[in-house]
Chains A and B, each alone.
Chain A
């Protein structure tokens, strides 16, 4: 959280996260070029730039696959949430690696010609009407363009400028981008290569991404929406101290009931920052804290602590016969609501 926009709000966890990313990418490139390729037993070495374009291109694909797995993994197992925390840096680095791949392609396949490199890139293969020989460069250019948009708008400035729903919709472009990259690889290198390993990895990566998303979707759809004005939520004892229970009011609207000692408050489950699931968060330093990026709100009024200005809706609650009920009509963001007090026996 920040009251002003700065390029990167560094902290120890981000440094560690980025260090792991860089180690993985450097290891990939070095092993690809200096260990694996010499072990391939080629009669003569490949062109260095072709080797680089292969190394960076496949690395970008591998990175993109991991990025797409993080979201559903975090939905299925909360222990993966720390990997979600700095995912935008992962995305920016992936764009840089993909861009390097493109630079190597242009400076080798599309240079040394009487035709301008960028004109050649767009015009030297126009066989759009066939699968075999389809201009894979067009798919790659489009994918890189989308990645660049996502990387450029990954900063919180754009999130605030565009609003969270628009920003989230924009960043769903990662899925068509991945499809373009799969097509780029499948119609080019893969279709022409006898390299079965890469074929298995490509298919395995695609199935893993699809499978994890299906499992996460399946988990979400099992939530049954409420149908009455006062929605039965849970017993106060069901909520661990400093934690929450999530209640679905409809397919889109969910409420997080937080407990702090013997005090119970209900707020929207959706973080004002990136829509993170607040109910999977915790009360830290007296504030509801989002599990995605650590944005904080007071449970009693849904307001971020000063000087921050983010607000989320609150909900009225009542206790009836030892059961908590939520008024399905949300209050305006930042509205004060008196907490429900109930002395929990286990206090734990």
Chain B
């Protein structure tokens, strides 16, 4: 008895009847596999935490530009007195050039507030409406500075704007190039410690001399690293003055 002929498909012809069921099942399986993969991957995405833009905010406080511009809040409609707020401009820009002549001055700020845990940020509005000398300063406020000694910490170097909430997620390897771009644009670098330091998870980074860092940290952003340096409490924020020679990828 002759062997039955296998169905033969020609693209420009009709689909053989014997293949129709197989192809229909294959097509359905193909589409279903896409749907299942999409759900499986998306439904198990890692939570990026609480950081986000939180609306408009106004604040009055003392401007400090070393190592990076921050505001020590005296009064605000959104921040607490004593909070330290990281300052940034629009996009991936810092505000050092706008703030450098106001170091130590009492200033009034307006902009978009960002918040992640105890880390506060403010994206300043443009011009005088975003940053100007305060009209009725409160001279009583003082910034306490306390050295906390030498530490060796493990964690991740991030840019202070995306991390605080300008991007979700604003950390991690996929975000590394963006973080570098922010740091190149003078956005303050933040060290996210794997364990709390004096109750703080986020530390503003500086060079060993207390000044701004250069490109030497760019190879180490967004990865898990170990760094040694001095820690100093400045008002409500810790500053991690790192020895850049000690940075290495953590195991």
Task: Note all chain A residues with C-beta closer than 8 A to B45.
Answer: 37, 40, 42, 46, 54, 193, 195
Among residues 13 to 65 in chain A, which have CB atoms less than 8 Å away from a CB atom of chain B? 13-14, 20, 23-25, 27-29, 31-33, 35-37, 39-47, 50, 54-55, 58-59, 62
CA distance A124 to B176 in the complex (A): 9
Among residues 175 to 195 in chain B, which have CB atoms less than 8 Å away from a CB atom of chain A? 175-178, 180-182, 184-185
B27 near A: Cβ within 8 Å?
A: yes
Among residues 213 to 238 in chain B, which have CB atoms less than 8 Å away from a CB atom of chain A? 218-224
Task: Note all chain B residues with C-beta closer than 8 A to A331.
Answer: none
Given known A-B contacts A40-B45, A44-B50, A62-B34, A282 and B12 have beta carbons under 8 A apart: no
Nearest residue (CB) in B for A30 is: B38
Task: Note all chain B residues with C-beta closer than 8 A to A284.
Answer: 8, 10, 13
Task: Note all chain B residues with C-beta closer than 8 A to A215.
Answer: none
A169 near B: Cβ within 8 Å?
A: no
Say which one of A148-156, A196-204, A306-314 lies at the interface with B: A196-204
| CB < 8 Å neighbour of B42 from A36, A78, A114, A194 | A36
Among residues 3 to 56 in chain B, which have CB atoms less than 8 Å away from a CB atom of chain A? 3, 5-13, 15, 19, 22-23, 26-27, 30-31, 34-35, 37-52
B145 near A: Cβ within 8 Å?
A: no
A130 near B: Cβ within 8 Å?
A: yes
A333 near B: Cβ within 8 Å?
A: no
Number of interface residues of A (CB under 8 A): 86
Task: Note all chain B residues with C-beta closer than 8 A to A213.
Answer: none
Q: Assess the B11–A293 pair: CB atoms within 8 A.
A: yes
Task: Note all chain B residues with C-beta closer than 8 A to A194.
Answer: 46
Task: Note all chain B residues with C-beta closer than 8 A to A110.
Answer: 177-178, 181
CA distance A182 to B35 in the complex (A): 21
Q: Assess the B38–A36 pair: CB atoms within 8 A.
A: yes
Nearest residue (CB) in A for B30 is: A24
Task: Note all chain A residues with C-beta closer than 8 A to B249.
Answer: 130, 132
Task: Note all chain B residues with C-beta closer than 8 A to A188.
Answer: 173-174
| CB < 8 Å neighbour of B180 from A82, A124, A197 | A124
Q: Assess the B23–A82 pair: CB atoms within 8 A.
A: yes
Task: Note all chain A residues with C-beta closer than 8 A to B6.
Answer: 78, 243
CA distance A42 to B168 in the complex (A): 11
Q: Assess the A132–B223 pair: CB atoms within 8 A.
A: yes
| CB < 8 Å neighbour of A85 from B9, B30, B44, B177 | B9
Nearest residue (CB) in A for B7 is: A79
A227 near B: Cβ within 8 Å?
A: no
Interface residues on B, range: 35 or more
Task: Note all chain B residues with C-beta closer than 8 A to A126.
Answer: 218
| CB < 8 Å neighbour of A198 from B41, B50, B185 | B41
Query: In the complex, how many angstroms separate the beta carbon of B93 from the nearest chain A beta carbon?
Result: 6
Given known A-B contacts A29-B38, A37-B42, A192-B174, A45 and B168 have beta carbons under 8 A apart: yes
Task: Note all chain B residues with C-beta closer than 8 A to A24.
Answer: 30-31, 34
Q: Assess the A115–B185 pair: CB atoms within 8 A.
A: yes
Which of A32, A86, A115, A137 has the most CB atoms of chain B within a 10 A radius of its CB? A32
CA distance A110 to B168 in the complex (A): 15
Task: Note all chain A residues with C-beta closer than 8 A to B175.
Answer: 109
Given known A-B contacts A24-B34, A112-B91, A133-B220, A291 and B9 have beta carbons under 8 A apart: yes
Task: Note all chain A residues with C-beta closer than 8 A to B44.
Answer: 40, 195-198
Task: Note all chain A residues with C-beta closer than 8 A to B220.
Answer: 133
Given known A-B contacts A55-B42, A112-B91, A112-B92, A124 and B48 have beta carbons under 8 A apart: no
B57 near A: Cβ within 8 Å?
A: no
Query: In the complex, how many angstroms separate the beta carbon of A54 from the nearest chain B beta carbon?
Result: 8
Among residues 316 to 348 in chain A, which have CB atoms less than 8 Å away from a CB atom of chain B? 346-348
Task: Note all chain B residues with C-beta closer than 8 A to A46.
Answer: 45, 48, 168-169
Q: List 28 A-B contacts (CB under 8 A).
A: A14-B11, A29-B38, A32-B39, A36-B42, A36-B43, A39-B42, A44-B50, A59-B38, A78-B6, A79-B19, A82-B11, A86-B11, A108-B178, A110-B177, A111-B91, A113-B181, A124-B181, A124-B184, A125-B218, A126-B218, A127-B218, A189-B173, A197-B44, A198-B44, A243-B6, A281-B8, A284-B13, A289-B8
On B, residues with C-beta under 8 Å from A are 1-3, 5-13, 15, 19, 22-23, 26-27, 30-31, 34-35, 37-52, 90-93, 167-169, 172-178, 180-182, 184-185, 218-224, 249
Apart from A24-B31, A37-B43, A82-B11, list 19 A-B contacts with CB within 8 A. A13-B11, A27-B38, A33-B42, A35-B39, A37-B45, A43-B48, A50-B168, A79-B7, A80-B26, A112-B91, A114-B185, A124-B177, A132-B249, A187-B173, A195-B45, A195-B46, A201-B40, A240-B2, A282-B8
The 4 A-B pairs of least Cβ separation, nearest first, read A348-B2, A36-B42, A112-B91, A192-B173
